[in-house]
Amino acid sequence: MTKIITIDGPSGSGKGSVSRLLAKKLGFSYLDSGALYRLLSITASRCQVASNNKKGLESLAEHMDICFESDDMGELRALLEGEDVTLEMRTENTGELASKIAGHSEVRAALLKRQRLFAKGDGLVADGRDMGTVIFPNANLKIYMTASIEERASRRYKELLAKGEDVSLRALAEQVRARDERDMSRDVSPLVPAEDAIELDTSSLSIKEVLETILDTLDAKGFR
């Protein structure tokens, strides 16, 4: 049976980086559920389907041609109809639209089966916002990562500056706050820790420290 580890949490908590490293360390498959919603937002923009067109978005979610590959450095590449859209997927505009369309129950239902298909082989590390509560409620281990709004905005600010983008830290903090409110208050699959999740505040922790904490937890549970 495939072992499943879910890592949920808000944007900027570090769950993506930690999940990729953990999957590599354990030799497990990796699911970036947020990437599916981001790819859908790109598809919707290109097909001129509005963010409030639930049926249109549902149809796109069911039929969009996507796949993920690892490059020579082991980094995940996202392909949409054969085109590498990894950079476009990581922009703030794509993230904002993805957050909006993720609130539609029709969209979440359409992507649910796709996400569960990632659970194969020896194991899976799945990161997102409802991995432990909805997609894989029977996961072997559930982690809920968080960090202060200020810290998460600061992390994103540094990332964007490194890419040469002109951004405002204050504006980023407001975006993080608004996205949190949207994700946590939506009627369908709100962002909340699973009842049996281990909560981990990463505000003052490095990625390496978070990874070591999770590995220690796995060892304590006899997981490895």
- Domain range holding 163? 3-209
Tell me the per-residue pLDDT of 35-68, one tens digit each, with 9 for 90 and over: 999 999 999 999 999 999 999 999 999 999 998 8
Number of H helices, E strands in the chain: 9, 8
Question: Beta-carbon neighbour count of residue 12 at 10 Å?
Answer: 25
* CATH number for the domain that contains residue 133: 3.40.50.300
pTM over 0.85: yes
Q: For residue 195, is it within any domain?
A: yes
Tell me the per-residue pLDDT of 118-169, one tens digit each, with 9 for 90 and over: 999 999 999 999 999 999 999 999 999 999 999 999 999 998 888 888 889 9
Q: For residue 220, is it within any domain?
A: no
Euclidean distance between CA atoms 22 and 24, whole angstroms: 5
Q: In total, how many domains does the chain have?
A: 1
Euclidean distance between CA atoms 179 and 99, whole angstroms: 7
Question: Beta-carbon neighbour count of residue 82 at 10 Å?
Answer: 8
Q: For residue 115, is it within any domain?
A: yes
Q: For residue 28, is it within any domain?
A: yes
Q: For residue 216, is it within any domain?
A: no
